[in-house]
Amino acid sequence: MHRAPGTCCPHAVQVVRLLDNGVYVMKQIHMDDMGVAEQQAAVKEVHIMAALDCTYVVRYYDSFIEDGILCIVMEY
């Protein structure tokens, strides 16, 4: 796992899925640094990303929260 090249997000890393060796970008958002309203907005944004199916929007694959960090897996 290392920082994804060409990303403006300092907490975006390139990851490889072991199941199929697919390469993805995982954006990491530290939820502990946010207030409750900001956390809810971040989760709502993830739900919107999951519902989108547009050629012009980076494709969403998965998300999870681990150790207070919201991880969003997207196309590379």
Q: What is the pLDDT of residues 22-62, one digit of tens each?
A: 999 999 999 988 999 999 999 999 999 999 999 999 999 99
**CATH code of 67's domain:** 3.30.200.20
Starting at the edge strand found earlier in the chain, the sheet holding 2-3 runs: 2-3, 12-16, 23-30, 69-75, 60-66
Structurally, the chain folds into a number of domains equal to: 1
> Containing domain of residue 53, as a range?
2-75
pTM for the whole structure:
0.80
